[in-house]
């Protein structure tokens, strides 16, 4: 049986007097109906290549190696870095923002923070460009090894007011930086933006020379296009191609392409834009993939073209809790222009693999139906675990084969850095389970499992002291006008089924689309092979943990949490 050993990390903190919760293990599992309906055959891969909250993919190739980064907004550590040799099997090798002093997410809304990173490399150095929205602006970090460590940010003040920076290395040795920014003069409509270019000095990591507008508004200004963003330049057959997202990141999302004979323009738009979208498909189609865009093109070593991009898998309508995910499709060239999807073409769930040597499956599955169990036996957490914003103190530790969390007076709804460790929800139909041991000291002390969309929308299931009694409680916050601490919507006396303070309690949250079930159990049998006698606490139906209701750009996460009363 696992015990609460002394925690050197926690005892070094001024808040060390708070009670400590111990979590023996954490298991996530999920499988959607489409996973069985669309099984990849020999020589095929499955979309999305990264399920769950992995939006805004930026990709690059160095030799035979591909590297990919995605947005994490206000989560820490931020900007996961993935590696692959076949564009299909991806392994996370690190996080680019993994030191609290690199960036400060303050108490920003969780959909602020780091947006749309890009990764590129030249002469043995890797560069990630990004925007810390409301927390510093645009910046570049660098590393010799993409697994890290990455440098502290170098800020790019010339890009003030912009987002989505990327680099282009021209054959003449010049480097250019692109970004989305405000248009020249006052915006003429909501969502009116521009794409800018400026020369960049790789030695000093500074912008130099004049800034030039490449695209004003979008490919057809007369139609008042919104949110031209995510710019990338590539060069082929003497042409500079400018690839951008357009239409916002909801169902109107798309990818457009323009070209020019000179890097600074003028650029002409492809007459057959967009080159990628799903907005022209029937909304009532079965198993839809929607909101596709924010693509980046990359070549394989044999010169074939592919694109990574974001899209979503709603469980109905425009409702999804899994966030925006990373997809892969081939790119073909026709009449001097690239194309990813034809008009009216649905993104395929499976497709022929790139003509690259297939790589072993990632040790942590990234798509399809799967289960992942964390026994917390290693010296550090796996790279896919995250917390809300930067930690200010040390409040968790790995000890005795468990994760131990300090129950601090920072709640899930406080827009702070609570004692909450989370991993992504990667399926519409999913479940998360854990075992917690906790001895509260005062009313309001609590520890257990949570499913979390943002600070305003979440559920917590766990042990809690109420009026001097230990109960198993389900707390909910549903909206910014609700109490930050949430409200208890179901509870049972822990002693009524044999759970005393410090004894192990199993907890489970299940979701199928918008239907949630919350259960608890005693551990029976031996500690090594326990049996769980699950008891339902409650079931409910809600769309509150979706982007459509909660807003923002993130997906739901499951995790473990400990908090204390005031």
Q: Which residue numbers are catalytic?
A: 56, 229
Runs of H (alpha helix) within 56-137: none
Q: Which token pair is 51?
A: 């399920």
CA atoms of 366 and 241, how far apart (whole Å) = 31
> Residue 300, SS3?
coil
Phi-psi region of 551 (alpha: psi -120 to 50; beta: other; left: phi over 0): left
**For residue 226, which of 172, 288, 287, 183 has the smallest C-alpha distance?**
183
Phi-psi region of 530 (alpha: psi -120 to 50; beta: other; left: phi over 0): beta
Q: Which token pair is 417?
A: 């850095």
Q: Is the dihedral of CA 372, 8, 76, 413 positive or negative?
A: positive
**For residue 392, which of 409, 420, 411, 417 has the smallest C-alpha distance?**
417
CA atoms of 287 and 282, how far apart (whole Å) = 11
CA atoms of 298 and 394, how far apart (whole Å) = 41
CA atoms of 100 and 384, how far apart (whole Å) = 17
Q: Are 373 and 25 in contact (CB under 8 A)?
A: yes
Q: Which token pair is 240?
A: 């500079």
Q: Which token pair is 270?
A: 């492809």
**For residue 406, which of 340, 498, 397 has the smallest C-alpha distance?**
397
What percentage of the chain's residues is helix, strand, coil (to nearest 5)?
A: 5, 50, 50
Label residue 360 exposed, middle or buried (CB < 10 Å: 0-12, 13-18, 19+): exposed
Q: Which token pair is 357?
A: 């040597």
> Residue 507, SS3?
strand
Q: Are 46 and 367 in contact (CB under 8 A)?
A: yes
CA angle 438, 432, 514 (to 5 degrees): 120
Residue owning tokens 């899930």:
412
Task: Report residue 48 CA to chain centroid gap.
Answer: 14
CA atoms of 91 and 82, how far apart (whole Å) = 5
Residue owning tokens 């979503």:
312
> Residue 8, SS3?
helix
Q: How far is CA 201 from CA 144, 177, 193, 230, 399, in A?
A: 18, 9, 25, 21, 47
CA angle 201, 183, 234 (to 5 degrees): 45
What pairs with residue 531 in β-bridges?
524
CA atoms of 55 and 80, how far apart (whole Å) = 11
């Amino acid at each position: 049986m696992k015990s609460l050993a002394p925690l050197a990390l926690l005892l070094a903190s001024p808040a060390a007097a708070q009670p400590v919760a111990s979590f023996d293990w954490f298991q996530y599992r999920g499988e959607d109906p489409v996973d069985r309906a669309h099984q990849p055959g020999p020589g095929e891969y499955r979309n999305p290549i990264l399920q769950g909250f992995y939006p805004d993919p930026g990709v690059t190739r160095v030799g035979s190696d591909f590297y990919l980064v995605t947005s994490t907004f206000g989560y820490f550590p931020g900007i996961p870095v993935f590696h692959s040799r076949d564009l299909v099997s991806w392994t996370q090798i690190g996080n680019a923002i993994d030191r609290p002093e690199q960036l400060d997410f303050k108490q920003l809304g969780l959909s602020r923070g780091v947006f749309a990173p890009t990764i590129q490399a030249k002469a043995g150095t890797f560069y990630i460009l990004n925007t810390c929205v409301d927390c510093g602006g645009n910046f570049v970090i660098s590393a010799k090894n993409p697994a890290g460590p990455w440098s502290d940010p170098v800020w790019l003040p010339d890009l003030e007011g912009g987002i989505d920076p990327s680099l282009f290395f021209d054959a003449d040795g010049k480097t250019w930086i692109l970004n989305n920014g405000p248009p020249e003069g006052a915006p003429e409509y909501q969502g009116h933006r521009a794409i800018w270019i400026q020369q960049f000095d790789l030695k000093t990591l500074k912008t130099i020379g004049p800034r030039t507008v490449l695209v004003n508004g979008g490919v057809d200004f007369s139609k008042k296009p919104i949110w031209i963003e995510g710019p990338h330049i590539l060069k082929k057959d003497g042409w500079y191609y400018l690839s951008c997202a357009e239409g916002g990141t909801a169902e109107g999302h798309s990818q457009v392409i323009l070209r020019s004979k000179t890097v600074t323009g003028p650029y002409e738009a492809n007459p057959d834009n967009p080159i990628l979208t799903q907005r022209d498909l029937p909304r009532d189609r079965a198993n839809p993939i929607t909101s596709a865009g924010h693509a980046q093109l990359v070549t394989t070593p044999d010169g074939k073209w592919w694109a990574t991009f974001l899209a979503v898998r709603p469980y109905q309508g425009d409702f999804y809790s899994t966030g925006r995910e990373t997809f892969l499709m081939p790119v073909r060239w026709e009449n001097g222009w690239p194309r990813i999807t034809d008009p009216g073409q649905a993104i395929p769930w499976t497709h022929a693999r790139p003509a690259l040597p297939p790589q072993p499956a990632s040790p942590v599955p990234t798509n399809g139906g799967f289960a992942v169990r964390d026994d917390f036996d290693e010296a550090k957490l796996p790279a896919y675990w995250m917390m809300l914003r930067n930690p200010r103190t040390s409040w968790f530790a790995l000890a005795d084969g468990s994760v131990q969390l300090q129950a601090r007076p920072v709640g899930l709804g406080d827009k702070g850095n609570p004692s909450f460790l989370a991993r992504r929800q990667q399926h519409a139909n999913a479940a998360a389970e854990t075992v917690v041991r906790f001895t509260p000291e005062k009313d309001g002390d609590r520890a257990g499992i949570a499913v979390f969309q943002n600070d305003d929308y979440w559920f917590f299931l766990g042990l809690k002291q109420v009026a001097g009694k230990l109960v198993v409680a389900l707390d909910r916050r549903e909206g910014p006008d609700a109490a930050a601490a949430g409200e208890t919507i179901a509870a049972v006396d822990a002693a009524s089924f044999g759970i005393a303070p410090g004894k192990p309690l199993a907890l489970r949250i299940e979701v199928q689309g918008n239907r949630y079930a919350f259960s608890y159990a005693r551990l029976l049998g031996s500690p090594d092979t326990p049996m769980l006698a699950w008891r339902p606490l409650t079931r409910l139906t809600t769309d509150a943990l979706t982007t459509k209701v909660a807003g923002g750009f993130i997906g739901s996460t499951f995790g473990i949490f400990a908090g204390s009363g005031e």
